[in-house]
Amino acid sequence: MNYKKLIPRLDLERLPAHVGIIMDGNGRWAARKRRPRMYGHRAGARSVRQMVELGVELKLGYITFYAFSTENWGRPEEEVQGLLKLLKEFLAKEIAELNRQNIRVNIIGSESRLDPAYLAEIREMASPTFGNTGLTVNMAFNYGGRLEIVEGIQKLFAESRDKPELIEKLSPQAFSNYLYTAGQPDPDLIIRTSGESRISNFLLWQMAYAEIYITQTLWPDFDKAAFIEALIDFQSRERRYGGVESQ
């Protein structure tokens, strides 16, 4: 379906400020085509581009893509190295256009296990966009929600040695400033492709009140029309944040 035909069904004043996407199904997509898993990951990168394009068109504020988890190190070495290479290839190919579109690209995740030279390189590649003020694209790479919270506690503890009031006056809002997404709104919507019904250690702190949308579509087949369908579903829900239905 042409995605533009779906846009009139959206209330453009009630779009989510932040969308998190668990991009699942690349391997199964490739297997169905009797191709290697990296073939699916490369196809998935094209879906990332489509989501970013639509995010700009709809004037979304933030999209976080779950690109590589802390658990993904357990995959075959060839696939791990392929995913590391794919992020660099994506940045090299897309960063000029992303910058032209006023998109800010953040690499969020842990520094542990990553080669410092590799980490410096991908951050340098993203750096031309750091002053941009349009859509923020977070690439969650070497990311794990539990590790993010642990590392946030470590940062807080280190600062509190000289400022004990940081612990004494700690609030959930204040602790959010120690997470990888500091300064960003929590996601309103989490999209998970491929039909799996789990959150897979993604944005555990931030998704406390996010709406979760699960689709059977495999990530490489998730296109702009599918994204709009998720947004339409989001707008059909009543968000109560622990309260009761409105009268």
Catalytic residues: 24, 72
Amino acid letter, residue 4? K
Q: Are 109 and 180 in contact (CB under 8 A)?
A: yes
User: Environment class of residue 174 by beta-carbon count within 10 Å: exposed (0-12), middle (13-18) or buried (19+)?
Assistant: exposed
Token pair for residue 234? Answer: 């989001």
Report the Cα 48 to chain-centroid distance in Å.
10
**Cα four-point dihedral sign 183, 239, 208, 134:** negative
Amino acid letter, residue 233? D
Amino acid letter, residue 50? Q
Amino acid letter, residue 230? A
SS3 64: strand
Token pair for residue 137? Answer: 């694209």
Instruction: Report which secondary-structure segment, H or E, holds 39.
Output: helix 37-58
Instruction: Report which secondary-structure segment, H or E, holds 98.
Output: helix 77-100
Instruction: Output the DSSP codes for 228-240.
Output: HHHHHHHHTSPP-
